[in-house]
Chain A
């Protein structure tokens, strides 16, 4: 525990590097593109349009009584945050080998800045979502504050996975190719285009082992329906995420020192 505190202090000491890496990632991503930062909104918007056309016009997928565009966008918000973070974290360390070889700062900063940059996209997409809520005349309640613990849970989960894939990719470059595939499969295993209610009752316990299923479902509950999340389930997920974080963190720290030798 004391070691973790020391490492957190070390990261805080290098917060300027974290901040600058995040800025760099955002700036570089949108520089020299005409639409610039608007791309952050266009990505989930276009997905939503396609999902709506296919899954509510062509194939009638139930949406728990919500308008399908709102239903899918409420899921795309956390999902894109998750997938963008993991995808860019995976190559964050390998892509900076010339720095890795020369100078020390906590290596967690690489995946962390990827997550922060993805978080900026998330916030922009979030603004679009609020415009949509107004358009569909869905009332905002104070229950929206429940989003905060859900978001913290999601960030914890993303951090755990990111630390793991970023470190693993240093050792096995296969990781880079596996991740897009896994992310795609993962999306179908999460309630992004369909509601949890269509999952057969006897498969539910297994289905809910996926933290993203709980997170996405909670986003819908809180943002669209104005309900509180399922707290017992939240507590269980929090325990799982903490355990994953602890494992990923230890794994990362254990092999961190050999990055420069292997890369």
Chain B
């Protein structure tokens, strides 16, 4: 039972007509008919022979660039569109966490929309009746229940939609980028809910650009590139591969095999002594020495720190701090040094380092991506909870 496949895609292809992706007008077709235009159609293959299986209770992350075919896979699984060739097998009830606003009608009240949205995602009216109070309480919108939702803020929209969705009872759950809406607290709520679904044995297919969310939710991840699966494995390894491919694309762009060579990475204290463990509030200098092997203009550097859970707790770049871009000059060495005050609680942390190219001030791609450039330990005697060290003091006066 546990190892049973609930989804099996075998050699799935999907093509779209290019240029005429949308609807046609009768006029065009009639003209075409008269002109006897040769039937040369331009096709775009959104999926090129995709095969994968999903076992019961497994949660699969699907990542990749825009246009890599992620949404197409989801559409095929949802039954919204059909593959051009290949087979798709699904066992069990498929539920979809759709874009939360797609099912709403702005003129209707919150109450009416709960029923409408519930019906669309497949909840029975009697079931909603039974759970109505629960849904309302979860959303925290009881005061606004009889207000047309066009008066709601976008956050309220999302909360209402999500509280209905949370009562879905599918065997396979499809999730498309819902985490891109809503605030931090809401995103966390979503992730917790996904964990709930997972614990109930629901199989999940999660399409996202949010790598942290994929890391948190998924037990397995596939990477799509131009309609084909290029990598399938644990989220960590696949995400690393994704960044590596991204950065190598960048290198190819510059016509060199490797744009830079890392000469040295050091994590030191203020006295320039190398260190591995720190105390909360200590200063640390992250120094990296590298040699450019090609000329690239307008690059910037960034470091990020990840907690043991994988969550990025800090992320900063040279462009933000200096408000300037740098250039890599062929065969010149370069040292980048980030100074950080480690107001962190005890634990193991990893430092990542990126070199990012930019066009017109917008990041255009990774030139170098190091998920795990260095790591350090924070030691402390008192046990504190959370992620940041706020240097607490307490006094109690009577």
Contacts and interface: CB of A to CB of B under 8 A. Distances in A.
A binds B: yes
Interface string A6-50: 000000000011011101100110011000000000000000000
Interface string A219-263: 000000000000000000000000000000000000001101111
Contact of B78 (A17, A27, A103): A103
Contacts of B78: 102-104
A99 B105 contact: no
Most B CB within 10 A of own CB, among A20, A170, A171, A263: A20
Given A24-B108, A102-B176, A262 B116 contact: no
Interface in A68-116: 98-105
Contacts of A100: 80
Given A28-B107, A171-B24, A257-B82, 8 more contacts: A19-B119, A27-B112, A98-B102, A99-B98, A102-B176, A104-B79, A171-B23, A261-B81
Contacts of B98: 99, 102-103
B26 A20 contact: no
Nearest to B113: A24
Contacts of A204: none
Contacts of B115: 20
B262 interface: no
Interface in B120-147: 120-121, 123-125
A53 to B, nearest CB: 36
Contacts of A16: 119, 123-125
A262 B119 contact: no
B81 A98 contact: no
| A-B pairs, 5 with minimum CB distance | A104-B79, A20-B119, A102-B98, A16-B119, A257-B82
21 contacts: A16-B124, A19-B119, A20-B120, A24-B105, A24-B112, A27-B108, A27-B112, A28-B105, A31-B148, A98-B102, A102-B78, A102-B176, A103-B80, A171-B24, A172-B29, A174-B25, A260-B80, A261-B16, A261-B21, A263-B22, A263-B23
B205 interface: no
A258 B78 CA distance: 14
Interface of B: 16, 21-27, 29, 75, 78-82, 96, 98-99, 102-103, 105, 107-108, 112, 115-116, 119-121, 123-125, 148, 176
A218 B112 CA distance: 39
A32 B119 CA distance: 24
B7 to A, nearest CB: 15
Nearest to B127: A16
A103 B26 contact: no
Contacts of B124: 16
Nearest to B95: A103
A171 B96 CA distance: 26
A105 B102 CA distance: 14
Most A CB within 10 A of own CB, among B22, B78, B102: B102
A10 to B, nearest CB: 11
B99 A98 contact: yes
B107 A103 contact: no
A231 B335 CA distance: 95
Contacts of A101: 75, 80
A31 B107 contact: yes
A261 B71 CA distance: 12
Nearest to A173: B23
A98 B116 CA distance: 15
A170 B82 CA distance: 17
